[in-house]
Structure 1
């Protein structure tokens, strides 16, 4: 059964194109970032995820050059762009920034919005690149329109085109899909990722949505209270979380309290192996889908106290003797029991994770 493990190592053999090294930032009495380190390989897409106020946007601002770190350094393609005595201005970093609200200029046409960051180029070259990126992103037919005439998805694509027009070495995206409804968000996100991968553009995408983070990034970096709690592929960080916080961020868990004895933690649902020292308090985290109906007598007796139908799945609330809080079991399709029924429930193999008690 998976147990707490160290954060996944960053395995790229090539030197990282971006290296954030021990970066800290304080605002008044609040520590927004605390010794954050993160690397990004060429062409890699990382999803930076976490609860509101955990430091995601603060980190993006430091990388973009909108703000400066109090400590630590940031290196881009081997050159330090922020650190003790060093600060490269945002316009000289070759980093694109796509804002959550898109920040399109309302008085400029789509073409002028996209070409806004190309003012240093000769006019003919700026027009050529603007036309090229509009065609690539699929907004050429909107060239003469103004932002207020565009749908949310169209505005998102124009903002992406504007960010990519200067050919940045790195694109930073702050909650780029949060203003779109769910169906449109999924489609636009897939289109955006395909464009970034086709261009080979490295990107950091900030999101608060765990499912989006798992689906979109080559790697995921989960932040907690100004620090990086764990990094890894979506599958690694979901299946092998290093802490109870990480486990519960990506999927709700049933918690069972216990104590380590002889390499196990005994609970009303069975004993689970652990490497915690004897006598140490433990929390057994069991994801909802890991609870399964067992043959009578082969599991713990559970009374169904409620049910919630969610379409493809149904969730049952269960009362188990010796467990203080109701457990939640998620089953595909229709539940095998209704409120008032009694079931025998067990935990699927590798379905429990053991962490030190908080």
Structure 2
């Protein structure tokens, strides 16, 4: 299997400001990847560089082994055979759904164009909507029309820029799954930009976590979540609490939440560390490592409750626990960390 997309030591600037620095990764044919990161981290700039909208100042971008961007080479966007689905869908309001989908394949013979349009309508589950106009569709339906339009010319690579950001949370997750189904069914390689980790987990074969213009980690979603490269990756891939700690003589870690075990055996006693405790990595109850905490807030979420726990040093940590009526605001209880990620400070 050969990479459809190869990024090597890429740098992009806006004037003197470096927006992308030393980014390298490869996307295999048929894979779906997500770039995840907060606003301003450079992920959209990277997407625009791949699409041909943004020049590069160092490094290269290759598509199917051909250099399409470098300081010396800039293949025009329209010649890259790359499809783009924009954040606002960019559908033509005066064209029907069928006409929108067929917009980029006008050079095809009419019968072939009609056949392609109908097969895409079926693929995105919008049979019977062909003669409607964008304003007659829901947000989720418009998003699927935009996807069908981008797929119509059979691009080598599809780029999706925050494609679900205009939709409500529940619909975003189901559409991320739906888009994955469509892309896998068509064998389309794709790169999706998002700031929503749930979208990334659902849609991606590979996950690239970005921060301050750099690629912090590139791996499967499971590996990135379970073994984040650093505390920043941990925070971007799961809600939780960042604490400081010190490794003790018996290889435990002393934290404001008491002592905790660590699987990181290479750290020497006395080493200062960052400890990332996911919201589900705290339990209430008596234990030799438990410390007293005060329940400051309690948000009922059905089977789970989200608690804000105040520690003896005044810090507040978040814990997601099974709903228990006796655990209410103002109650002091023992709590401990059951699992955490430890990183050198």
User: How far apart are 1:166 and its partner, in Å?
Assistant: 0.3
Note if 1:270 corresponds to 2:256: no
Per the alignment, residue 282 of structure 1 pairs with 273
Contact 1:24 1:71 in 2 (8 A): yes
Contact 1:253 1:288 in 2 (8 A): yes
Query: Deviation per CA, 1:122-170, whole angstroms, max 9, x where unpaired?
Result: 3443333223322322334222222222221221111111000001121
Contact 1:316 1:335 in 2 (8 A): no
Per the alignment, residue 4 of structure 1 pairs with none
Per the alignment, residue 183 of structure 1 pairs with 170
User: How far apart are 1:278 and its partner, in Å?
Assistant: 4.9
Q: 1:137 to 1:315 in 2, by over 3 A?
A: closer
Query: Deviation per CA, 1:166-210, whole angstroms, max 9, x where unpaired?
Result: 011211111111112223323322222111111111111111101
Q: 1:136 to 1:286 in 2, by over 3 A?
A: closer
Within 5 A, what are the aligned runs for 1:113-192?
113-192=100-179
Contact 1:219 1:231 in 2 (8 A): yes
User: How far apart are 1:298 and its partner, in Å?
Assistant: 5.6
Q: Distance in 1 between matches of 2:51 and 2:305?
A: 44
User: How far apart are 1:336 and its partner, in Å?
Assistant: 4.6
Match of 1:333 among 307, 323, 326: 323
Match of 2:283 among 292, 295, 314: 292
Gap regions ≥5 residues in structure 1: 1-13
Note if 1:112 corresponds to 2:99: yes
User: How far apart are 1:296 and its partner, in Å?
Assistant: 6.1
Q: 1:287 to 1:117 in 2, by over 3 A?
A: same
Per the alignment, residue 9 of structure 1 pairs with none
Note if 1:307 corresponds to 2:295: no
Paired residues, number = 341
Q: Distance in 2 between matches of 1:187 and 1:308?
A: 25
Q: 1:215 to 1:334 in 2, by over 3 A?
A: farther
Q: Distance in 2 between matches of 1:305 and 1:112?
A: 56
Within 5 A, what are the aligned runs for 1:175-254?
175-254=162-241
Q: Which runs of 4+ in 1 moved over 6 A?
A: none
Query: Deviation per CA, 1:273-312, whole angstroms, max 9, x where unpaired?
Result: 4433554432222122111123266622223233221223
Secondary structure class of the residue paired with 1:254: strand
User: How far apart are 1:342 and its partner, in Å?
Assistant: 2.6
Q: Distance in 2 between matches of 1:217 and 1:80?
A: 25
Per the alignment, residue 77 of structure 2 pairs with 90
Within 5 A, what are the aligned runs for 1:59-70?
59-70=46-57
Root-mean-square deviation (CA), in Å? 2.0
Q: Distance in 2 between matches of 1:336 and 1:88?
A: 64
Secondary structure class of the residue paired with 1:141: coil
TM-score normalised by length of structure 1: 0.88
Q: Distance in 2 between matches of 1:96 and 1:106?
A: 20
User: How far apart are 1:97 and its partner, in Å?
Assistant: 0.5
Per the alignment, residue 6 of structure 1 pairs with none
Structure possessing the higher relative contact order (Cα contacts under 8 Å, 6 or more residues apart): 1
Q: 1:180 to 1:254 in 2, by over 3 A?
A: closer
Query: Deviation per CA, 1:72-122, whole angstroms, max 9, x where unpaired?
Result: 111111222112422222222211110110001122222221111113333
Q: 1:23 to 1:298 in 2, by over 3 A?
A: closer
Per the alignment, residue 340 of structure 2 pairs with 352
Q: Distance in 2 between matches of 1:99 and 1:136?
A: 20
Contact 2:173 2:198 in 1 (8 A): no
User: How far apart are 1:67 and its partner, in Å?
Assistant: 2.0
Gap regions ≥5 residues in structure 2: none
